[in-house]
Amino acid sequence: MHQNPVSISLSSYGASLVRQRGQESFINLLAAAGVARIELREELFEGAPDAAALGAAIRAANLECLYSSPLELWGADGQPDPRLPAKLALAKALGAVALKVSLGHYSERCEVGALQAMLSPGCPLLLVENDQTEHGGRIEPMLAFWRRVEGWGLPLGMTFDIGNWHWQGESALQAARQLGRWVRYVHCKAVQRQDDGRLAAVPPKAADLLAWQALFDEFAAGLVRAVEFPLVGADLLAVTRAQVHNLARLGEEVSHA
């Protein structure tokens, strides 16, 4: 196992392959690659998972589990999504350390008290991520949310998605400087503009890894960082191991002796 823990978002292996094989089929691959955490993706399940069996298989491989849902935390009505308690319950049944959702339509009129009522004692940590949308992918609303909930003592943390800031033209470095103290999990992906003009996640190059090092200087040491870019190749184990090695080194102190 590496000094800095690495997670794999199973979407990295491609939606069609993961749906075809089933998310449980990747557990042993991740364990062999030196991964610390598996990020299960709600949108890649075909029907409801057998939470007890899947959770037991993950624990048997000595992996942590995180459950990712495309749910937006805040609706346009200023209320938290009413499905949140059910998502938290499923995450808990899986043995997940956290549930990951996106920010949604946060504004000053959002009812933090209503969110507090949904976060029962013993529930998994709720990780709130910057996504690619105008309402949930900019620094301003994310910063306003964390300043608002600070001091409430809620089981919350931020998922900082490095690549997603590009969709709204935001600076990842500025975001890290302003939001770093709330970050508990980091999604890593480089971003490239395709021939059709759309942005797409791609594996990092050396220059990307160097730039990401500056971001990790703004975060607490030892945070779990996740691969969320394509892992493709004839030897998926070798491909995964190489990228795990690269991400595990981010945030390490460099010796000048």
Closest by CA to 19, choosing from 47, 54, 38, 52, is: 47
pLDDT, residue 253, reads 64
Answer yes or no: is 257 within a domain. no
Q: What is the pLDDT of residues 98-135, one digit of tens each?
A: 999 999 999 999 999 999 999 988 999 999 999 999 99
What 3-state class would DSSP assign to 224?
strand
Q: Which two tokens stand for residue 207?
A: 């220059």
Per-position pLDDT tens, the chain of length 257: 457 999 999 999 999 999 999 999 999 999 999 999 999 999 999 988 999 999 999 999 999 999 999 999 999 999 999 999 999 999 999 999 999 999 999 999 999 999 999 998 899 999 999 999 999 999 999 999 999 999 999 999 999 999 999 999 999 999 999 999 999 999 999 999 999 999 999 999 999 999 999 999 999 999 999 999 999 999 999 999 999 999 999 988 654 33
* Pairing of the two strands 190-193 and 199-202: antiparallel
Answer yes or no: is 254 within a domain. no
Answer yes or no: is 255 within a domain. no
Q: What is the pLDDT of residues 175-187, one digit of tens each?
A: 999 999 999 999 9
Report the number of distinct structural domains present in the chain.
Answer: 1
Closest by CA to 202, choosing from 9, 29, 23, 12, is: 12
Residue at 190: amino acid letter? A
Q: Which CATH number is 10's domain given?
A: 3.20.20.150
pLDDT, residue 257, reads 38
What 3-state class would DSSP assign to 175?
helix
* Pairing of the two strands 125-129 and 98-104: parallel
Answer yes or no: is 222 within a domain. yes
Answer yes or no: is 1 within a domain. no
CA pair distance 25, 170, nearest whole angstrom: 36
Task: Compute CA 120 distance to the chain's CA centroid, rounded to the nearest angstrom.
Answer: 22
Answer yes or no: is 157 within a domain. yes
Give one DSSP letter per residue of 33-58, joined into a string.
Answer: TT-SEEEEEGGG-SS---HHHHHHHH
Answer yes or no: is 253 within a domain. no
Answer yes or no: is 36 within a domain. yes
CA pair distance 56, 61, nearest whole angstrom: 9
The boundaries of the domain holding residue 143 are 6-248
Q: Do 2 and 37 form a contact (C-beta atoms < 8 A)?
A: no
Residue at 116: amino acid letter? Q
Q: H or E stretch including 67?
A: strand 64-74
